[in-house]
Structure 1
């Protein structure tokens, strides 16, 4: 004879609330401890700052900067400690009013149409302008020379020049070299790596480091703002909300589409704009 309900009885499942489970922070903390990892080690592998890791393990998501960033940090930390991030994301959405609505596509496309494309050097126009300037200068010089000769013949009076006198030799006019205009100068130096980020449609937390580990920037990039970073060898990036980021590397646009709310880690060097 059994006393009370068996632990495996269906009635026992009905008596416990559906959310009788560890909180998100405790689940991440227990998984980290079980994996033998410290907070410093998790922070180093995920690039999530130590104070934010501590806050998330205490179920304090206010330091994440919003639901989009909180979901991205939860996903990153869960993968680092060996947990399935989808279950924790569902738990977070249930505790915070559901999954945030996706950004409408129309405003993003509208922003793409309004934003001017970067102008590239127009060598053809520069050469045409230089040729026109040279031809005009030569024509003006020849016209003034002929006009001066005709005027001198009509006004000056005096003895006819000696036939033995050698006529003065006219020196050939030097063609001026075309001066390169501002549009013909390359926008980025070839001996450095140049990375430009623009937040289109939404804000995004970003972190940028130089090849020597120096922190170039760490903070929020608001909608419509841009940041440009340069280094002699490499620029390392962390995008907290990669979806709305438009990226140019060494003057070339990165066509790869990132997921909204996803955390991306990228590295770029001199040469082809390929992520490391």
Structure 2
């Protein structure tokens, strides 16, 4: 397919570039559009080929080759298109850009960066009182006051309780006129007396203590029902009750102390002796 090129336009691209950029005077130098067009034709490319390769629209390529830079949208975009098209047709874009700047009032000065990127000064925002923080502080204060009052009241109550129980009041404290002296505590019962001292009179109560060592014992009620059968270790004790009588078998009577109906039995049991005993409501007499 013929591009309609004249014989002089079929010269190699190096000759075209040489004619455009070096040996031609400024007055005889072709225009920017003419130079790009000649280089394109020399490269054997159509406008469609250039548009596809550079992504510059066909209408803009035609306009630039006609030295009409209005469709570019401004000098900055025109310079970019010139550089792109020049590289596509293997021309040095620098002379073309210099020619464009000379014909269009020079290269545009760069836009100052300060006005574009200077951050707007933020004015301090006036804020109202922080009611949430105030409410939290008030709640904390109330809780602290209640806790202090509770602790203080507990301390006072403890002091009063101590005085009421008969402890010595601190120096300078005034005793209440209505306070009564504490009664002396009842003396503790003798260790030999046990709960069976208050045993009911209508029953027989027998307490067996292994005070001198361990001993095997067996206890039955008046019907022969087994109440206990086992070994008492030293220091252990057992208590049995029945409405009529209690039957005992002591494996080592010398290690045992007996309390019947609240009274200690003074029998002279020998160590290792086996004793069979029966106690009734009228004892400490042996039945």
Please classify the TM superposition score into its range, dividing by the shorter chain length.
0.3 to 0.5
Q: Which has the higher contact order (CA 8 A, sep 6+)?
A: 1
The structure having more radius of gyration, on CA atoms, is 2
Instruction: Please give the TM-score of this superposition, normalised by the length of structure 2.
Output: 0.33
